Structure formats: C-alpha cells, structure tokens
Amino acid sequence: MPGEVKDPSLAEEGWRRIEWARRRMPVLAKIRERFVQEQPLEGICIGMVLHVEAKTAVLVETLVAAGASIAITGCNPLTTQDAVAAALYTLDQVNVYAWRGETTEEYYTNINRVLSHKPSVLVDDGADAIVFAHTRCSEVFENLVGATEETTTGVRRLCAMEREGRLRIPVIDVNDARTKTLFDNRYGTGQSVIDGILRATNVLLAGKTVVVAGYGWCGRGIARRLAGMGARVIVCEVDPVKALEAYMDGFQVMPMRKAAKIGDLFITATGVRDVIRREHFEQMKDGAILANAGHFNVEISISDLEALTVETREVRSCVQEFRLVNGRRLYLLGEGRLVNLVCGDGHPIEVMDMSFANQALSVEYLWRNRGRLEPRVYPVPKEIDEYVARMKLQAFGVEIDELTDEQRAYISDWQMGT
Ligand SMILES: NC(=O)c1ccc[n+]([C@@H]2O[C@H](COP(=O)([O-])OP(=O)(O)OC[C@H]3O[C@@H](n4cnc5c(N)ncnc54)[C@H](O)[C@@H]3O)[C@@H](O)[C@H]2O)c1
C-alpha cells in the first residue's frame, strides 16, 4: 500500500495544483523528456524528505519518469499540503507518508518509514533524514550510494559531519549551485516570505519598520523586497562584511537589542538559534509580529516567549497571540516555522524549477557515479549548474553572447595586456 496521508479524497485538488506547477517548470520538463528515453534510474528507489507540495510533486514525477520508485515524507511537520500528498498517494510507484501537523514522533517515524524502503539515493532538505540514517538506521547504508541536500542549514550540518569524519556517503550540496542560491534563496525566499506574512496577517507593509535578522542570501532577498514595498528596513547581522553590505545597500543596521524596541515586524533568516530571545521580547512594542524564514523553528526562542506569557490564543489561522506579563501582545506566525511554507505555498514555481532541476540531475549524477565518489560534501558539477541556467534562459526566450575563439585565447593568455 502506498503509505499514509491525511485524506485520500483530496487527490483531485492535489492534481490540479500539481498541473498548475508542472506547466511552469520547463527545465524539469526537458529533463523528464530525456529521462523517459534513457531511464537512468531504472529499478532503484529514491528516498525523498522534502516539503510535500506541488513543486516537489513535479520533481517526484521527474524521478519516476527516469524509472525510479519513490518513498517520500515531509522535511517539516507543518509544511505538507494534504491535497498534494493525496495526489501522490494515487501513484503506484510512490509511497508517501506525510500529513500537515505531524507530531515530532510522527515526523521521525515517517522518516524511518522512508528509510525502510532502503533507497539508493536520498534527497534531503535540512539533513534530518541523513542524520537519522547515520545515528539510528545504519541498515540503510547497504543500498545508499549518496544523497543530495537542498538547504543552507542542511549543508552546514553535513559539512560538520564531514569535518568530524562521521559522513558515510557522498552528498551533493544542491543549495550552493549558482542556479539555486542566487534565485531560490534570494528571489524565492524574498518573495515567498513576504507572501506568507501577508496571507497570514493581511497587514500593510508600506511605512512599517521591519527588522530582518541575517543579511545572507535569504535576508538580502527579503530586505530588498520589503524596501520595494515601502517598508523601513533595519538589518541585524553578526558578520561585519554583510553588515557593511546592508549599510551600503541603504538599510539601517543595528543590533537586535536596539531594533527590538522599534520594529513592527521581525523576520529571522539566519540558520542560528535564539536570534530573538527574552531580552528582546521584553523590549518589543505592543502588537509586534514575529516570523521566521530560517530552516528550523529555533531562531525565535519560543520557550523564552512562553516563559514571559500569561495568555495565548490563536487569533487568525497561522497567527498566535502571546499576551506578556508586561501587558503587551506579540504575534507569532506559523509557530515560528518557515513562514513561507507554513502560511503560504513556498517559493514561486519558476525558481523551484531550477532548484529541482539541480536535484534531479544531481540524483542522476550520484547514481551514474556510484562507487566512484568519496564520503564527503561535493558541489553540484559546473556542467549541471550551467545546463540549468541555459535551459532556463531558453525557456524565457533569452539569448546571450558567446566568447569568440580570439576572446577565449585572450583571457587565458598571461601576456594579454602587452
Ligand atoms: N524559507 C525558505 O524557504 C528558505 C530557503 C532557503 C534557505 N532557508 C534557510 O534560511 C536560513 C538562512 O539561509 P541563507 O542561505 O540566507 O544563509 P546565509 O549563510 O547566506 O545567511 C545567514 C546570515 O545570517 C547571519 N547571522 C548569523 N547569526 C546571526 C545572528 N545571531 N543575528 C543576525 N544575523 C546572523 C550570518 O552572518 C549570515 O549572513 C537557513 O536556515 C536556510 O536553510 C530557508
């Protein structure tokens, strides 16, 4: 039986969402065409631990078209779209174990269920599945030839495992492909985080003071788009170079202890825990809104917030009110989890076309090169990254120049200036 979902009768709605996404993912469509011909993943199982929503379903279809069977669960207990899970549940080649609102125990049980299919390749987002395999499910290494990782936080964890000599498989760092980070983390998060916040709250951004913690790939995208909508943006950073960049990009830069007093809306995008904590909540204005864009729900310290709270209630879907001992009310969106996925549909389809094209081609690369790669974190091969960019340009109908032979010779000649 193909797994467990909340409500199989939602399948039709799920297929409509998938169709909407599929039509806007031309790079994956191109890859799928080749996969159907070549069947590069014939007969193997791919384990997937990703946000179970429409774009992910198109990646699932692409891997199925390559001949693989799929075992899939969510990479976050709150981000599964039940209709999409129900649609995947109708496919013979797919085992889906996912529903919105999993308990922590169910979340890990479902990861275990995916691993029990003994996948040959794992596609992970945040590295929970890879870490689980290493610490609690070593049988999986009988079949597993490698994994791919989708996000910054996951890559950080895997690099730490590699440094400590704990990593047992090669992992492709999809996050840092240029056709991923430059678009997904920056434009994707920039747009979808704002979309999630607006859907949850229905507030006006123009004129609001918005504090963005972290001016990395995601933070930059969020800050720029907020500014474009008329918000006054304050950036908090710990890296002096990024802080300087934010300053020269025209944003106010200050520590959170100062920003806490003046912000109307706070957004964390750091990948680090306790970025907003007790001392900051105590300073915040009545009505301040808190949202997180980072991978785990640790950036806004919910335990500190609860410790200061006398009463809590849900005031809108995805919006929790915390009435503090000082009488002020703070509003937490999406339980402090990825606001763009919990309160919205996640990244725009067009950017996930590129991220998931990198995923599909990296899975193929791992399988074709099985036995030849060391247990370490590898970048996405340059040819894959550039192929994805070229296909995307083609889909947009954009042509570019090419170096002439003379130009190529010129830039590789050390005497070029003489
Ligand atoms: N919401 C999404 O859909 C989505 C998409 C991509 C990445 N992510 C996640 O978002 C997080 C950030 O990813 P990224 O690619 O921007 O990483 P990044 O490393 O490019 O940026 C993080 C920034 O946060 C800064 N920072 C660290 N600690 C801080 C602190 N205490 N206060 C202020 N700034 C601090 C760092 O100096 C860095 O500039 C990660 O957890 C990543 O997995 C989420």
CA torsion 403→409→411→415, rounded to 10°?
-160
189-342 CATH, one of 1.20.1290.10, 3.10.20.90, 3.40.30.10, 3.40.50.720:
3.40.50.720
Nearest CA to ligand 1 atom 9: 294
Look at residue 416 in the predicted model and tell me its pLDDT: 78
Strand partners, 332: 290, 320
**Residue extent(s) of CATH 3.40.50.720 domains in the chain:** 189-342
How many angstroms is it from 271 CA to the middle of ligand 1? 5
Is residue 355 within 8 A of residue 222, CB to CB? The reply is no
Atom of ligand 1 nearest to the CA of 347: 3
C-beta separation of 416 from 410 below 8 A: yes
Position in ligand 1 atom list of the atom nearest CA 346 = 3
- Torsion (CA) 113, 116, 119, 121 in degrees, nearest 10: 60
Angle at 269 between CA 265 and CA 270, to 5 degrees: 130
DSSP state of 181: I
* Homologous superfamily in CATH for domain 3-180+347-396: Adenosylhomocysteinase-like (3.40.50.1480)
- Centre of ligand 1 to C-alpha 215, Å, is 7
HSE-CB for 227 with a 13 A CA cutoff: 15
Atom of ligand 1 nearest to the CA of 271: 41
Q: Which of 174, 295, 342 has the most ligand 1 atoms within 8 A of CB, as the residue to mutate? A: 295
User: In testing the pocket of ligand 1, which one of 152, 220, 274 has its CB within 8 Å of the most ligand atoms?
Assistant: 152
175 lines ligand 1 (CB under 6 A): no
Q: Which ligand 1 atom sits nearest the alpha carbon of residue 256? A: 32
DSSP class of residue 158 equals H
**How far is 53 from 18, CA to CA, in rounded Å?**
8
Angle between helix 128-136 and 104-115 (nearest 10): 70
CB contact at 8 A, 372 and 378: no
Pocket test for ligand 1, best of 78, 185, 252 (most atoms within 8 A of CB): 185
185 lines ligand 1 (CB under 6 A): yes
What is the identity of the amino acid at 38? Answer: E
Enumerate the β-bridge partners of residue 171: 147, 377
- In this prediction, residue 4 carries a pLDDT of 98
pLDDT at 127: 98
User: CATH 3.40.50.1480 spans which residues of the chain?
Assistant: 3-180+347-396
Residue 340 CB–ligand 1 contact under 6 Å: yes
185 CA closest ligand 1 atom index: 6
CA distance linking residue 80 with residue 77, whole number of Å: 7
What does the alpha-carbon distance between residue 156 and residue 311 come to, in Å, rounded to a whole number?
Answer: 37
- pLDDT score for 418: 66
What's the whole-model pTM score?
Answer: 0.95
Are 359 and 147 in contact by the 8 Å Cβ rule? The answer is: no
Q: Are 62 and 35 in contact (CB under 8 A)?
A: yes
pLDDT one digit per residue (tens) for the chain, 418 residues: 469 999 999 999 999 999 999 999 999 999 999 999 999 999 999 999 999 999 999 999 999 999 999 999 999 999 999 999 999 999 999 999 999 999 999 999 999 999 999 999 999 999 999 999 999 999 999 999 999 999 999 999 999 999 999 999 999 999 999 999 999 999 999 999 999 999 999 999 999 999 999 999 999 999 999 999 999 999 999 999 999 999 999 999 999 999 999 999 999 999 999 999 999 999 999 999 999 999 999 999 999 999 999 999 999 999 999 999 999 999 999 999 999 999 999 999 999 999 999 999 999 999 999 999 999 999 999 999 999 999 999 999 999 999 999 999 999 998 876 6
SS3 136: helix
Residues 6+ positions from 141 with CB-CB distance below 8 Å: 133, 168, 169
Tally the C-alpha atoms within 13 A of residue 107's C-alpha that lie toward its C-beta: 18
